[in-house]
Structure 1
């Protein structure tokens, strides 16, 4: 994943947490537009989410934000 994407993911998570609270969940699709304009990046994120970390479809935004910060 690119540094730009990681920052976008951290920002997305932080925004969701600010709006809906610490318990809000999201899926990796939350980081992408409805129209997939970067299939390579989508597959990188899906691989990181599903294969590498064996995360559920929906995870707590706090957890994902912290994981993205640790990369």
Structure 2
């Protein structure tokens, strides 16, 4: 799902588009455990900025980082 969201945003807005981990969730918090897992991966594990290039996130996920 993460790769698909990245691909869609890249297709819509170009390769320079930035995303936050919130881009992978609906506006309501109906999966708090999954949201926290994504936040840990994004912030604690990889120390990413709030917004990162979709291309970078896509490539990280594809490589299994």
Fold similarity call, TM over 0.5: yes
Q: Structure 2 unaligned segments of length 5 or more: list them.
A: none
SS at match of 1:57: coil
How many residues were matched structurally?
64
TM-score, normalized by length of structure 1?
0.88
TM-score, normalized by length of structure 2?
0.95
Which consecutive segments of 4 or more residues in structure 1 shift more than 6 A?
none
Counterpart of 1:23 in structure 2 is: 16
SS at match of 2:22: helix
Q: Are 1:37 and 2:30 counterparts?
A: yes
Counterpart of 1:70 in structure 2 is: 63
Measured in 1, the distance between the counterparts of 2:27 and 2:14 equals 24
Measured in 1, the distance between the counterparts of 2:55 and 2:20 equals 12
Q: 1:70 deviation in Å?
A: 1.4
Q: Structure 1 unaligned segments of length 5 or more: list them.
A: 1-7
The RMSD of aligned alpha carbons is 0.5
Measured in 2, the distance between the counterparts of 1:49 and 1:30 equals 12
Q: Are 1:54 and 2:41 counterparts?
A: no
